[in-house]
Amino acid sequence: MRLQCPRENFGVEHPALISKGVLDWWNALDRPRDLPWRSTRDPWAILVSETMSQQTQIERIVAPYLEFLDRFPNPQAAADAGAGALVDSWSGLGYNRRAVMLHRAAVQIVDKHDGSVPADLEGLLALPGVGPYTARAVLAFAFERDVAVLDTNVGRVLARTIGRALHRSEAQELADQLTPSGTGWSWNQAVLDFGATVCRKRNPTCDVCPIVDFCDWGGVGADPAAGSAGVSTRQSTFEGSDRQGRGRIIAALRGGPVELAELDAITGWEAGSDRLERIVRQLIKDGLAVASGQTLRLPT
């Protein structure tokens, strides 16, 4: 008989049993996911990996991550290089504004923290582009603090275990309850892998799930993770979108300055369209491009 764990009965015993089940499963794996940022406790390297992985598949960032750190091994190097250099190194990752925000964070780390990434939640959240997940991930994976990260994988596990969609505050509270004392690094790695490989968005392997006896869903009926806090929603179509046009412009700028008159051919959009003008204005506002006369270029 399946043990039901509705939110109001989610007491001390159940989190401990769930945590033990996931940790035992992870520790028994022959080969946990071999990711380069798992072999370091360098806060800057962790900040880079977490920024890159936002809205991007993990497999896509391994090579760019290593190349980026080779070029910008610390906040000082990134701050000195300028935003354009970081955008140039962001090729293939998409969402290029993340590179600009990472540069701004590096500048702030240098100016306000003597070049060292802050080791407290308040200081991390004050950095440009750093939200609750990234801040907690740096604390857990760089400083091994007992804080809980809440990404789409973790949010899915929580909602399915409880059997309903969760609000942000209660999802974070549950994630905190599940974090065993003294295991902040390993627990968060374990639950992220668990959500990515067992409690998957599609075709979860409930038949081999180590905590199925504590799950109030068990793969039956509507998925309670839909619309729950932390769980990502389906992205809009990329083909023909503004995101595609922005990406094409940035890709062209990586090769050098571009005449504004060339942008219609680069994007494949109608020359002089309001859409193109709007996108160019937004790129400039976002710090991804600089206009000089009739020329567009990456920032310095």
CA atoms of 135 and 243, how far apart (whole Å): 26
**What pTM does this model have?**
0.86
**Is residue 36 within 8 Å of residue 69, measured between CB atoms?**
no
Topology at the third CATH level for domain 242-297:
Arc Repressor Mutant, subunit A (1.10.10)
**Quick one: pLDDT at residue 1?**
29
Q: 165 and 205 in contact (C-beta within 8 Å)?
A: no
The strand ranges marked E within the chain are: 258-259, 290-292, 295-297
Q: Which of 50, 122, 144, 170 is catalytic?
A: 50
50 a catalytic residue: yes
Q: Which of 135, 126, 121, 134 is nearest to 104 (CA)?
A: 126
Residue pLDDT tens, the chain, 300 long: 233 444 444 544 577 889 999 999 999 987 667 899 999 999 999 999 999 998 888 889 999 999 999 999 999 999 999 999 999 999 989 899 999 999 999 999 999 999 999 999 999 999 999 999 999 999 999 999 999 999 999 999 999 998 899 998 889 998 998 999 999 999 999 999 999 999 999 999 999 999 998 888 888 888 988 888 767 555 556 666 788 888 999 999 999 999 988 988 898 877 667 888 899 999 999 999 999 889 999 998
What CA–CA distance (Å, rounded) separates 176 from 196? 19
Amino acid at 171: A
Q: How far apart are alpha carbons 104 and 108 in whole angstroms?
A: 6
Q: Which spans in 114-165 are helix H? A: 121-125, 132-141, 152-162
What residue segments make up the domains of the chain, in order of their start?
7-33+147-214, 42-141, 242-297
Does domain 7-33+147-214 fall under CATH 3.30.1450.10? My reply is no
* Candidate CATH numbers 2.40.160.40, 3.10.28.10, 1.10.10.10, 1.10.340.30; the one for domain 42-141: 1.10.340.30
Which pLDDT belongs to residue 240?
62
SS3 42: coil
